[in-house]
Amino acid sequence: MRRIACREPHPAFAALSVALAAALLAACVPATVRRPNAVLPSALETFTVSGRMSVRHGAEGVTANFEWRHHGGEDDLELVSPLGQTIAVLTADDAGARLQTSDGRVHRAESWTKLTAEGLGWPLPVDGLTYWIQGLPRPDAPYRTEPDEAGRPGVLRQDGWTILYPSYMPVGNALLPARIIATYPDVELRLAIDRWQ
């Protein structure tokens, strides 16, 4: 029987084999999928938006119709019960925020978030909502976005809130959110928008 002598592989061949094996193994490991950020529109300086709102805070909840007028640094937000009774009127400008409840009491604070937490019993993040209702993050604060299938904001995370945008509606030449679900620990805010101006 003829015997075949085995030789040690050439060092260059051994190194090439190791590199090839490593490349093949790396190809079997699923790659980390990086989702691009959503395409963000420009912020509206002025808008009027109306619709329906429901807020759950712990075991408590409230449902209201709303109309919000925003012009530069001034805001007016009126909350009305389904039966047509005014629940609260919130106004804000550079001087601060003011909340008048249905019993005539007036509360003042430097921000709407603090004001609503004290006056309504739950924090309504109006400072952020000015942008979130448009599908935008609040400027000068960290955020993360995830696009929907059309590249619009589908999810926005900022200030501890997670904001979902299930649907959009045409407004002039743009698309603006038609439904918004914003969640924060122990708080859920839902907006169904009927009209943008």
- Kindly report the CATH number assigned to the domain that includes residue 86: 2.50.20.10
What are the strands of the beta sheet with 187-196, ordered from one edge?
106-109, 96-101, 86-93, 74-80, 60-71, 46-57, 187-196, 174-184, 161-171, 153-158, 143-147
Average pLDDT, the chain: 79
Q: Is the residue at 20 inside a domain? A: no
More confident residue, 35 or 19: 35
DSSP state of 73: T
- Structural tokens at position 78: 């009126």
For residues 153 and 134, is the Cβ–Cβ distance under 8 A? no
Q: Is the residue at 110 inside a domain? A: yes
Assign 59 a pLDDT band (cuts: 50, 70, 90).
Answer: confident
Q: Is the residue at 85 inside a domain? A: yes
Least confident of 26-30, 62-66, 98-102: 26-30
For residues 174 and 182, is the Cβ–Cβ distance under 8 A? no
Q: Is the residue at 14 inside a domain? A: no
In this predicted structure, what is the pLDDT of residue 6?
43
Q: Is the residue at 37 inside a domain? A: no
Q: Is the residue at 157 inside a domain? A: yes
Assign 80 a pLDDT band (cuts: 50, 70, 90).
Answer: very high
What span, in angstroms and rounded, lies between the C-alpha atoms of 109 and 140?
Answer: 22
**23 pLDDT more than 70:** no
Question: Domain residues for 152?
Answer: 46-196
The region, left, alpha or beta by phi > 0 then psi within -120 to 50, assigned to residue 133 is alpha
Predicted confidence (pLDDT) per residue in 140-156, tens digit: 899 999 999 988 999 99
Predicted confidence (pLDDT) per residue in 98-151, tens digit: 989 889 989 898 877 778 777 667 667 777 888 999 999 998 899 999 999 988
In this predicted structure, what is the pLDDT of residue 8?
47
In this predicted structure, what is the pLDDT of residue 30?
33
In this predicted structure, what is the pLDDT of residue 10?
43
- Structural tokens at position 156: 């926005």
**What average pLDDT does this structure show over 28-36?**
36
Total number of domains in the chain? 1
Q: In the chain, at which residue ranges do the beta strands (DSSP E only) sit?
A: 46-57, 60-71, 74-80, 86-93, 96-101, 106-109, 143-147, 153-158, 161-171, 174-184, 187-196
Assign 89 a pLDDT band (cuts: 50, 70, 90).
Answer: very high
**What average pLDDT does this structure show over 167-178?**
93
Residue 76 φ/ψ, nearest 5 degrees: -135, 125
Whether this prediction's pTM lies above 0.85 is answered by no
In this predicted structure, what is the pLDDT of residue 127?
74
What is the amino acid identity at position 46? T
Q: Is the residue at 15 inside a domain? A: no
Q: Is the residue at 39 inside a domain? A: no
In this predicted structure, what is the pLDDT of residue 47?
95
In this predicted structure, what is the pLDDT of residue 161?
93
